[in-house]
Amino acid sequence: MGKIALAAKITHVPSLMLSEAPGSALAGTRDGAIDSLREIGRRARARGVDTYVVFDTHWLSNFGYHVNANDRHRGVYTSHEAPHMIQDLGYDVPGHPALGDAIAAEARKQGVDVRAHHVPTLGLEYGTIVPMHYMNADGALKAVSVAVPLFASVEESRILGEATRRAVEASDATVAILASGSMSHRLWPNKQLGPEAWTSIASEFNRQVDLRVLELWRDRRYAEFCAMLPDYAVKCNGEGGMADTIMLFAALGWDSYAGEAEQMCDYFPSSGSGQVTVEFHVDA
């Protein structure tokens, strides 16, 4: 019987990669976030995790939910969005086709439009590639990536998160679930993309709400957070509608989850958005 051994909300911003480029003006500014991703990878291995399931808000779909269930994820990635930040980044990670298929099948039973794909030319997006670069650089652990629809409801994402948990528990996998995306996600307008944009927030309102959310998580006030999440996603410009966070909490038990939220790096802005890495402990 499978289990979820680790669950986390993580950052995947391309400025992580940019901060490591020779001569970068951001050099060193993302070290804490990078270290947090590497630590998630270390913890995953220490707990016997063999598969990452990544809810990827950078794999956006206009037409339903999708699961990349390939048996191998291999390629060289340059971001079409930010080719100056992520360029020629190789990745080679095994997949878990049976688990990907099971997640899709379980959600379809509940009426959600979701498809699992075995298409070798279907590559990963950087919401999965960047975390794997830091957590799984040797490609020892498997990965299943889940796309986020632009026009999905909170209820649909909850169903998919709950289906993911059931599929994991019925499998042979020990899984780390990653909600890969920002907190608030209002970006700076193009004409304001000067050097300071990479280290400043685009909305003070969004920053204040993000900080309040971190307080709620720290104090384990998850019922209040889940009640505010639909409004939070809309009013704070949620990336992919914050579907990754919705699916994560659904997999954890939604407002009945009671575990520790461990903030693993300082909250930081990137091109206007709010970023953090938090592990939601499942050992209890």
| CATH fit for domain 3-280, picks 3.40.830.10, 3.10.20.30, 1.10.580.10, 3.40.50.2000 | 3.40.830.10
Please report the pLDDT score of residue 18 as a whole number. Answer: 85
**Model confidence pLDDT, tens digit, residues 140-160:** 999 999 999 998 999 999 999
User: From residue 122, how far is each of 49, 77, 102, 109, 139 by CA, in Å?
Assistant: 25, 12, 19, 25, 18
Token pair in block for residue 237: 């410009």
In the block, which residue shows the tokens 């391309």?
14
pTM (2 d.p.): 0.96
**What interhelical angle do 222-235 and 204-218 show, nearest 10?**
160
**Per-domain residue ranges of the chain:** 3-280
Rounded mean pLDDT for each run of 10 residues along the chain, 284 residues in total:
97 91 86 97 98 97 96 96 90 98 98 97 97 97 96 95 98 98 93 80 97 98 98 96 98 98 97 96 82
